[in-house]
Amino acid sequence: MKQTQSYQSIKLSTNSIEKFDDTLVIEAPLQININEEPYTVVMRTPGNDEELVRGLLYAEDIYKKQSEVKIEIIKNEKDFSTILNVEIPKEKLGKGYLNKRTLLSVSSCGICGKKELKDVRIEGNTLKNSTKTNIKELIEVTSRISLKMNCKQSLFKITGGSHACAVFNKKEELLTIKEDIGRHNAVDKCVGDLIIQNKLKEANYMLVSGRVSYEIVSKAFLAKIPIIIAVSACSSLAVDFAKEFGIFLIGFSRDHKMTIYS
């Protein structure tokens, strides 16, 4: 099962620029049906889907027995999105399903509660990104605002266990910074703060302390924030969506180096 995909990108440093094919981990949705009824959608790297489903059903107290259940692939798309159906006799369904409890919302999940693949899609017009800059200026701007974010990460300094999101305007002025154990939560907190402040339209740069996945790109798009800068990697779906949405996506922004994906 293919788990990586190559994307053409541009690697920048203060003294060099290089076009190259970067290998990214694939992120794709898996829709889980139970007895032909949609249950939930999870983002995953393809491979070991049956094990993933069994582990999820166990954690959610839906089916904890060791005996096998029938798991069938209903649809398997070229973009690695997949629909699986799990057949479980009604009398063997656990309390987690019988109580119709929603899927546990964990800190790393930005799509919890969605039931079908079509719910993952985001509608809207491509952003008109008018950002113009040269390489040296881009690296300098990114370094400056990254330093500003790092200085404000008080929770991380104490615990070493939190993520941060910071949003700046075109003048590199910090509009908001929030921390949370979950990357997606930190982004939501920033967007919410800007809505309360009535400053969402001023947002131009979104910095995130970890990696960028589909959910973070979609949140930036819905908030009309045109530039995402990540300290860490980007997933395949994040790059796909950034290109589709017109978002300037930068990963591995560290030590006056970065990789441009979109």
Point out the annotated binding site.
252-257
Q: For residue 169, which phi and psi values (nearest 5 degrees)? A: -90, -175
165 labelled catalytic: no
Question: At CA 250, angle to CA 232 and CA 6, rounded to 5?
Answer: 80
Angstrom distance (rounded) from CA 260 to CA 262: 6
Start-to-end CA span in the chain (Å)? 26
Of 144, 130, 196, which Cα lies nearest the Cα of 172?
Answer: 144
- Name the residues annotated as catalytic: 109
